Amino acid sequence: MTTHATSWNFRRAVVTGGAGFLGSHLCEWLLSLGTQVVCLDNFLTGIPANVAHLTDDPGFRLARCDITDFIHVSGEVDLVLHFASPASPTDYLRLPIQTLKVGSTGTLHSLGLAREKKARFLLASTSEVYGDPLEHPQREVYWGNVNPLGPRGVYDEAKRYAEALTTAYRANCGVDAVIVRIFNTYGPRMRPDDGRAIPTFIRQALAGEPITVAGDGSQTRSVCYVDDTVQGILALAASGHPGPVNIGSPDEITILHLAETIRDMVDAQAPIRLINRPVDDPSVRRPDTTLAETLLGWKATTSREQGLHKTIEWFRSALAGQEELPSF
Ligand code: NAD
Ligand code: UDP
Residues 126-179: pLDDT tens digits? 999 999 999 999 999 999 999 999 999 999 999 999 999 999 999 999 999 999
Q: How many helices (H) and strands (E) does the chain have?
A: 10, 13
How many CA atoms are closer than 13 Å to the CA of 292, on its beta-carbon side?
Answer: 30
Tens digit of pLDDT for each residue in 34-70?
999 999 999 999 999 999 999 999 999 999 999 999 9
The answer, yes or no, to whether any atom of ligand 1 lies below 6 A from the CB of 229, is: no
The CATH code for residues 12-186+226-250+281-301 is 3.40.50.720
The answer, yes or no, to whether any atom of ligand 2 lies below 6 A from the CB of 231, is: no
Check whether 322 has a pLDDT greater than 80.
no
Please choose from 27, 28, 45 the residue to mutate so as to test ligand 1's pocket, defined by most ligand atoms within 8 A of CB. Answer: 45
Please choose from 83, 92, 186, 226 the residue to mutate so as to test ligand 1's pocket, defined by most ligand atoms within 8 A of CB. Answer: 83
At CB < 8 A and 24+ separation, what contacts does 168-172 make? Answer: 169/111, 169/114, 169/115, 169/121, 170/242
Q: What percent of the chain has pLDDT over 70?
A: 96
| Residue-range domain boundaries for the chain | 12-186+226-250+281-301
At 326 the pLDDT is: 63
**pLDDT tier for residue 321 given thresholds of 50, 70 and 90:** confident
At 5 the pLDDT is: 46
Q: Which of 155, 169, 186, 225 is catalytic?
A: 155
The answer, yes or no, to whether any atom of ligand 1 lies below 6 A from the CB of 228, is: no
**pLDDT tier for residue 328 given thresholds of 50, 70 and 90:** low
Distance (angstroms) between ligand 2 centre and the Cα of 121 equals 30
**pLDDT tier for residue 268 given thresholds of 50, 70 and 90:** confident
Say yes or no: ipTM exceeds 0.95: yes
Active site annotation includes 225: no
Atom of ligand 1 nearest to the CA of 68: 18
Residues 6+ apart with CB under 8 A from 221: 183, 184, 197, 252, 253, 255, 258, 285
Atom of ligand 2 nearest to the CA of 219: 15
At 325 the pLDDT is: 63
At 122 the pLDDT is: 98
Check whether 292 has a pLDDT greater than 70.
yes
The answer, yes or no, to whether any atom of ligand 2 lies below 6 A from the CB of 221, is: yes
**pLDDT tier for residue 320 given thresholds of 50, 70 and 90:** confident
The answer, yes or no, to whether any atom of ligand 1 lies below 6 A from the CB of 23, is: yes
Distance CA 27, CA 57 (A): 11
The answer, yes or no, to whether any atom of ligand 1 lies below 6 A from the CB of 44, is: yes
Tens digit of pLDDT for each residue in 184-195?
999 999 999 999
Written as one letter, the residue type at 125 is S
Distance (angstroms) between ligand 2 centre and the Cα of 196 equals 5
Contact yes or no for 162/123 (Cβ under 8 A): yes
Check whether 4 has a pLDDT greater than 90.
no
Nearest ligand atom owner, CA of 155: 1
Residue 23 to residues 43, 218, 294, Cα–Cα distance (Å): 12, 31, 26
